[in-house]
Amino acid sequence: MAAIHTGLTSQDVIDTALVLALRDLFDLFEARLAATADALGALGERLGGLRMTGVTRSQPALPVTFAARLAGWLAPFPDHFDRLEALRPLVLRLQFGGPVGDRPRDAVAVAMAAELGLAAPERAWHADRTALAEATGWMALIAGHLGKIGQDIATMALMGDIRVEGGGGSSAMPHKENPVQAELLIALARDAAHQQGAMLAALPHGMERDGAAWMAEWLALPRIAGACGRALAVAPGLLAALTPPGGADGPV
C-alpha cells in the first residue's frame, strides 16, 4: 500500500476520495434543487389561486391563498444555491498531509490537485473538519426545508385544503388516503437533523489525527447525504401530485 501513495497516509487517500464523491453529490443536488424549485413554480401556476385557511401556532388563523404559502416554500431556494457556491471552494480540496499532517504543499501536491480538479491547500485538514460539517449542514438544511413542505402538505390534506393523488391507502380503513410521500419528507428531515448533531460532535478531532472522530463521520455523513438526496428526489413528484380538494377537476 505504501508504494501506491508514497509519503502519504491512508487518510489522505480516503479524504480525497470523499471530496471527489462530494463534488458529484453537489452537482446532483444542485440539479435536483432546481427541479424542485421548478415544480413549485408549476404548482403555483396550477393551483396558486386556491384559497385556504392560514394556520398560526397550530390554530386556524386568517384566509390565505395557496400562492402566498408557495412563496414561503420557495423563499429559501436562492440561499440554498448561494450556500452551495460558497461551500465548493471550502470542501473541494486535496488531502495531502502525510502521516502527521505536516507535509508541505509541494509540486506533487499541486500537480495531483490539478489532475483531480481540486484545490491544493497550504496544509492538511486531517483534524480540521469544519468544511465537512458545513457541507452536511447544508444538506441537513435542505432536508429540513423539504420536511417543512412535507409537514405543511400533510396538514393541508388533513384540513381538506388539498388532495394528494396516489397517496398510500390503508389496509384497515379503505376511505383513507395517507400522504406517505409528505410523511417521508418529514422523517428524512428529522433523521438528517439528528445525524448533523453527530457531525458536530465529531468536530473535536484529537491532536494531528483522530480515528474515533473520523469513523464517527463515516456513520453520519452518508446518512445525511442519503436523506437530502432522497428528499430532493421525492419532492417534485409529491408537488406534482397535489390537486384541489375535489380532485384534478376541482375548482381553483
Per-residue pLDDT of the chain (252 residues; tens, 9 = 90+): 445 566 789 999 999 999 999 999 999 999 999 999 999 999 999 999 999 999 999 898 899 999 999 999 999 999 999 999 999 999 999 999 888 888 888 899 999 999 999 999 999 999 999 999 999 999 999 999 999 999 999 999 999 999 998 766 556 656 667 889 999 999 999 999 999 999 999 999 999 999 999 999 999 999 999 999 999 999 999 999 999 987 654 444
Strand pairing category for 163-164 and 51-56: unpaired
Cell 406517505 belongs to 180
Q: What is the DSSP string of 199-248?
A: HHHT----SS--HHHHHHHHHHHHHHHHHHHHHHHHHHHHHHTEE-TT-T
| Residue spans per domain, the chain | 10-243
Domain 10-243: which topology? Fumarase C; Chain A, domain 2 (1.20.200)
Spatial distance between the Cα atoms of 180 and 175, rounded to a whole number of angstroms? 15
Phi and psi at residue 248, to the nearest 5°: -60, -25
Evaluate whether 184 touches 168 at the Cβ level (below 8 Å).
no
**What's the rounded Cα separation, in Å, for the pair 131 and 128?**
8
DSSP state of 52: E
Outline where 105-179 has alpha helix (H): 107-116, 130-159
CA distances to 68, 109, 145, 179 from 185, in Å? 21, 42, 9, 10
Q: Is-contact 227 142, C-beta < 8 A?
A: no
> Which residue numbers are catalytic?
170, 209
The Cα 12–Cα 23 span in angstroms is 17
Whether 215 and 198 have beta carbons less than 8 Å apart is answered as no
* Helices 10-47 and 130-159, axial angle in degrees (round to 10): 30
Please state whether the predicted TM-score (pTM) of the whole model is above 0.85: yes
Handedness of CA 116, 119, 123, 125 (dihedral sign): negative
Place of cell 409537514: 151
* Whole-angstrom distance, CA of residue 136 vs CA of residue 149: 20
